[in-house]
A = this chain, B = another copy of it.
């Protein structure tokens, strides 16, 4: 098919008729395909089945320090679980607090603690007239949901290939003490796949902030989630903890990670790392609401994953499943949209998403058309605070859940929808 972008109106009308016929054909098939959420596929979950039998009897329930993991206690995690999660968090085990099955919960609770009690002596954020938060966009809708729930005013900051636009970030934090935090997914970011450059990390750590209790929420959700085994094809990100210490702002960060997309999303282990002072405060306050998290599950994970090498070997198995899916989506985008002006997309080397930038004003229409033809996409706008994408342009593609054949079929539908929306837009101009 010749390029939509170079057609005259008659050609466009004829092309649109053809595309709509194609779309009607898809719709008639009664498809139920899903590229909406970053869920692993069943074959990925199968990789972790030995986890379920890793702790099977009373003798096996002892931690290395003799703790009977079946009973109450151990607020911040078993020593060996801290060591395992420290490997993911790129930190020392003593700076790690192991939580339950959800890093989102750990983040929510960190915001809630600062909100209700302040942090390291600062005023509780709930006492302030206004609290603002920097949200690199496009970003993760559940991050935005947390800050929105507390009535925190979210300020979008553009993402670049190197992380958030640091000129904008530095400007916003420099003189406004109501700006208390920033959401960061520093590696293979959700959804654009970018990894923060060393310079970005150092800027975040060193920039002057009007708020002394400004906190970087460092959600390293995809820290070990490479698509390629060769180290040269893997992104690396500087440790924000080390950068903050070097810059003389040692308490500025909270780091988060989980095994949700390493073992089982429903039954993984989450953890955070922070400065010793922050960890001490978190433990003191966390201890009010729980006696301890699931230590048996911590033990399962230690026995199954073992250490950094064990995690890497396991993640290579995930990559072998995911790589063909990402490559399929990219090949289809290349084939289908290369000559459609205004369309561009990310080429991530890890993580769970590919971002399509569609021509301004078409994203909602594309997602709506896909829905009509039986393909569920992440809602247009979801990658922006308050679900408001001012350009109506960003669409997050999640290729991981559907089997390859379904993904192939879903992408055919999706590309047809993109082209319809683009043609409609050109015709309306």
Residue positions of A touching B, CB distance < 8 A: 37, 39-40, 42, 45-46, 48-49, 52-53, 55-58, 61, 68-74, 100-102, 104-105, 108-109, 112, 115-117, 126, 142, 145-146, 149-150, 260, 264-267, 285, 288-297
A346 to chain B, nearest CB (A): 23
A48 contact set on B, CB distance < 8 A: 70
Pick the contact of A100 from B40, B56, B285, B294 — CB < 8 Å?
B294
If the complex has contacts A295-B266, A296-B266, are A37 and B72 also in contact, measured as CB distance less than 8 A? yes
A45 to B108, CA, bound (A): 33
Q: A146 touches which one: B46, B102, B288 (CB < 8 A)?
A: B288
A74 to B291 alpha-carbon distance, docked (Å): 25
Q: Is the CB of A72 within 8 A of B260?
A: yes
Q: How far is the CA of A297 from the CA of B297 in the complex (A)?
A: 9
The residue from B100, B146, B150 contacting A101, defined by CB atoms under 8 A apart: B100
- Nearest-Cβ distance from residue A232 to partner chain B, whole angstroms: 32
Query: Is there an interface contact between A39 and B105, defined as CB atoms closer than 8 Å?
Result: no
Closest to A285 in B: B149
CB nearest to A38 among chain B residues: B72
A117: chain B residues within 8 A (beta carbon): 149
Cα-based distance from A264 to B42 in the complex (angstroms): 29
For A293, the chain B residues whose CB sits under 8 A away are 100-102
Q: In the complex, what residues of B have CB within 8 A of residue A71's CB?
A: 39-40, 42, 45, 264-266
Given contacts A100-B293, A108-B289, 17 further A-B pairs with CB under 8 A are A39-B73, A42-B71, A45-B58, A45-B61, A48-B70, A49-B58, A69-B267, A70-B264, A71-B266, A73-B266, A74-B266, A100-B101, A100-B294, A104-B290, A117-B149, A267-B296, A294-B294
CA gap between A46 and B297 in the complex, in Å? 17
- Check B49–A266 contact: CB distance below 8 A: no
Question: Would you call A146 and B289 a contact (CB within 8 A)?
Answer: yes
Q: Which of B72, B74, B289 contacts A39 (CB 8 A)?
A: B72
Contacts of A68 in B (CB 8 A): 42, 45
Q: In the complex, which residue of chain B has the Cβ closest to the Cβ of A287?
A: B145
Q: How far is the CB of A96 from chain B (nearest CB, A)?
A: 18
- Say yes or no: A70 contacts B265, CB within 8 Å: yes
Determine whether the beta carbon of A102 is less than 8 Å from that of B290. Answer: yes
Shortest beta-carbon distance from A35 to chain B in Å: 15
Contact between B52 and A145, CB atoms less than 8 A apart = no
Q: How far is the CB of A192 from chain B (nearest CB, A)?
A: 21
Smallest beta-carbon distance A71→chain B, Å: 5
* Contact (Cβ within 8 A) B52 A56: yes
Task: From the candidates B70, B74, B145, B260, name the one contacting A288 in the complex (CB within 8 A).
Answer: B145
Cβ of B46 and Cβ of A58 under 8 Å apart?
yes
In the complex the two chains form, what is the Cα distance from A310 to B49 in whole Å?
Answer: 27
A289: chain B residues at CB < 8 Å are 102, 104-105, 108-109, 146
Question: Knowing A73-B266, A266-B296 touch, does A288 contact B56 (C-beta < 8 A)?
Answer: no
* Chain B contacts for A46, CB-based, 8 A: 58
Minimum CB–CB distance from A292 to chain B (whole Å) comes to 6
Question: Smallest CB-CB separation from A99: which chain B residue?
Answer: B100
- A290 in contact with B45 given A73-B266, A116-B116 (CB within 8 Å): no
Within the assembled complex, what's the spacing in Å between the Cα atoms of A266 and B98? 14
The verdict on A116 contacting B290 (CB below 8 Å), with A70-B265, A71-B264, A71-B266 known, is no
User: Nearest CB to that of A74 among chain B residues?
Assistant: B266
User: Shortest distance in angstroms between A67's beta carbon and chain B's nearest beta carbon?
Assistant: 9
Among A53, A115, A289, max chain B CB count under 10 A is at A289
**B residues less than 8 Å from A116 (CB atoms):** 112, 115-116, 126, 150
